[in-house]
Structure 1
Amino acid sequence: MNKQEFLERLENLLNKLSPSEREKAISYYSEMIEDFIEDGCTQEEAVIKVGTPGQIAETILSEDVSNKSKKESTPAKKMLIATLIVLGSPFWGAFVLMGLMLLLTGFCLLLVGYMLLWTIPFLMGTLTVVSVILSVVSTLGSFAIMQSNLALGLTQFGVGVIASGLFILLAISTGMISKYFVVITKNVWGWVDINCLQRLRGIKLW
């Protein structure tokens, strides 16, 4: 097979290519054959070194199909991803917003519960103040009442003693509960500082 026959056969086998691509392939193998001829080969020997038209055409067509599939699939994939992002953004955005709202609600509930717990020592402290005032007023007032009515004065004095005992009991209980709550507060704040605040400080936003 000489050069002309080789090129004609190759051109026929590459009829699925566009004219420009087919012309490019024919020119490439024509120059390759000419290079072999310049090196001292005959046309037949040069054609044999280049390869058969069938093998060359099969290789060129397979590469062309692969390139076309890549060019066609890449924009399609990009379009699909973009579509999913656009359609999914409101969906996931709603879930993220819902999650943030739930976290905020949970935090508010914990804060309210914590404040309600602190009302216990606060109320006990208030009762302590009331009891000490009642103790002082009842004790001092009992002496004045005894001058006119001994029984009523003694009763008033007894109320003062009871109020004093209640004051001592409430003062001790309030101190113990407040101390316990302070320890809990320190532990909770320490956990929040270690597990949340320090990690947030370590995040670099730039």
Structure 2
Amino acid sequence: MKQMNKQEYLTAIREKIKAMPAEDIERFTDYYSEMIDDRIEDGLSEDDAVADMVSPDDAVEQILSEMPLAKIVKEKIKPKHELKAWEVILIILGSPVWIPLLITAAVLLLTLWIVAFTLLVSFYVVVLSFVVAGICGIVSVIPLFIAHCPYAAFLMLGAALIGTGIAILFIVSVKPVTVGIFKVCKASVNGIKRMFVKEK
């Protein structure tokens, strides 16, 4: 992060969230200001205290993750002055264009989340199926030995062990896959929020 003082750091954050409601801008900048002050009270210089903070971009990411999307959108579309009659007419006449676009954006976002959730559920189903297949394969070896079918028993045991090995590999990757999918969903929401908090 480029070396900056407290005021420059807070200004960098403020500039990146300037489309947010004024009270939220103040709340977040006050929060980061207090964090810097706490570090200064612990004995750091102002420059070192700022250097110890996350970058302004990372701070904005944290802010976006805490802000509800609906609140950001509401603030963005809220008129900055009382609408004149001709502006209202333009909005009404343009509604056949902007309403379908808004609905399309919402449907695309919803579809992304549904696809991500479906992929996650499918992954869990595949893992569970390999686990069940491995257990059932190992259990079915016993009746085959009792029925004096050693070749079939060894074949079943080999298949069961392969299935169990694949299941173990899948189980190990369950957490990274789950975290990855949730990160993608979170990033998509933050990306939309970022579009709304860009400079006016």
* Normalised TM-score (structure 2): 0.48
Greater helix proportion: 1
